[in-house]
């Protein structure tokens, strides 16, 4: 697209986001007549009407809604360029905006992202939330990457791609006082004697844990379920119930948190993904993130 046409598209985007030509003119610092003229030029070039003028502003036509949907992420990115350049010039590093699924183990997140924060080249900006909400933010380019326990679903409109970072077998842990209640029972039958804490049903791991418990004929006594994995682990450390976590976290949960490892659900594994928008230029920190994941996977038990 020629540069003048790109300018016309930007004017249209501002009108669409502001809802009126007068508000767009004030934001752009030009006359309303200039806005109107450039919109007419854009509609003539495209061959379709994009807006309808109403008494209290403008209304997008179906063609206008399609154009705005495509233009919005492009100009949102463009508006971030001055701030990003200034931060890089001031030595603040390139910002990496990471969406973190609330079901993802926080120990893993810390191990993945800490090397990026320590290298002096990346400024981490973290946002925790539910999986679908984070994907929507990623599709709008408000996030650079999403870390989650599942791949992005195949939705052509989102244009996202997923990279498997690794997987880990799942082990069960409990506070020492609670673990003593199951003394004398073999694993996994010991779990039938204990209250259990489970991830909520929105976590990919939940269904796999339930299936495994049923196959081993373990009667589940679930006393709590949590969307946030850190909150689940916190209640587990308090002695409320036994809980499952990736086996690579055993050194932290046993050595640092003082928990007891009850046993391994060898048939159950939890996978971890990095999800990004389909861009020709990947974020410079992505490769370092993949390297950190490879180190974690190599050091995992088994």
Query: Any idea where the domains of the chain sit in the sequence?
Result: 3-80, 87-166+272-299, 168-269
**Arch. (CATH architecture) of 3-80:** Orthogonal Bundle (1.10)
Residues 24-82: pLDDT tens digits? 888 888 888 888 888 898 888 888 898 888 877 888 898 888 888 888 777 766 666 66
**Sheet with 145-148, side-by-side order of all strands:** 122-129, 94-101, 145-148, 260-277, 160-174, 243-246
The whole-angstrom separation of Cα 300 and Cα 161 is 25
3-80 shares its CATH topology with 87-166+272-299: no
Please list, in sequence order, all residues whose beta carbon lies within 8 angstroms of the beta carbon of residue 134, skipping any fewer than 6 positions away.
99, 100, 101, 127, 143, 146, 148
- Architecture of domain 168-269 in this structure: 3-Layer(aba) Sandwich (3.40)
- In the prediction, which pLDDT does 88 show? 57
- Tally of helices (H runs) and strands (E runs) in the chain: 11, 10
Q: Which two tokens stand for residue 124?
A: 């981490």
**Local structure of residue 105 (DSSP, 8 states):** -
Residue 28 CA to residue 78 CA, distance in Å, equals 15
- 87-166+272-299: CATH, from 3.30.460.10, 3.40.190.10, 1.10.3720.10, 3.40.50.150: 3.40.190.10
Residue 257 burial class via C-beta count within 10 angstroms: exposed 0-12, middle 13-18, buried 19 and up: middle
187-202 pLDDT, tens digit per residue, is 999 999 999 999 998 8
Taking only the tens place, the pLDDT of each residue in 116-164 is 766 666 778 888 888 888 988 887 778 888 999 888 888 766 678 888 8
Confidence of residue 283 (pLDDT cuts 50, 70, 90): low
Burial class (CB in 10 A: 0-12, 13-18, 19+), 5: middle
């Amino acid at each position: 697209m020629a540069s003048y046409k790109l300018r016309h598209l930007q004017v249209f985007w501002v009108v669409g986001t502001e809802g009126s030509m007068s508000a767009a003119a004030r934001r752009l610092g030009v006359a309303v007549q200039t806005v109107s003229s450039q919109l007419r030029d854009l509609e003539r070039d495209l061959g379709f009407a994009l807006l309808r003028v109403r008494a209290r502003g403008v209304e997008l036509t179906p063609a206008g809604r399609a154009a705005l949907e495509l233009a919005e992420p492009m100009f949102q990115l463009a508006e971030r360029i001055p701030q990003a350049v200034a931060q890089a010039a001031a030595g603040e590093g390139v910002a990496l905006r990471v969406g973190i699924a609330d079901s993802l183990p926080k120990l893993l997140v810390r191990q993945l992202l800490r090397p990026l924060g320590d290298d002096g080249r990346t400024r981490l900006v973290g946002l925790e939330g539910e999986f679908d909400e984070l994907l929507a933010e990623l599709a709008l380019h408000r996030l650079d990457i999403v870390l989650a326990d599942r791949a992005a679903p195949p939705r052509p409109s989102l244009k996202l791609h997923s990279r498997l970072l690794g997987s880990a077998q799942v082990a069960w842990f409990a506070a020492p006082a609670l673990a003593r209640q199951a003394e004398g029972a073999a694993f996994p039958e010991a779990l039938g004697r204990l209250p259990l804490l489970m991830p909520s049903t929105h976590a990919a791991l939940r269904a796999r844990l339930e299936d495994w418990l049923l196959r081993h004929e373990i009667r589940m006594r679930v006393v709590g379920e949590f969307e946030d994995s850190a909150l689940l682990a916190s209640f587990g450390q308090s002695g409320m119930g036994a809980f499952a976590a990736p086996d690579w976290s055993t050194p932290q949960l046993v050595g640092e948190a003082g928990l007891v490892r009850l046993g391994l659900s060898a048939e159950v594994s939890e996978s971890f993904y990095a999800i990004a928008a389909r861009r020709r230029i990947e974020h410079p920190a992505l490769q370092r993130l993949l390297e950190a994941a490879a180190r974690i996977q190599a050091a995992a038990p088994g």
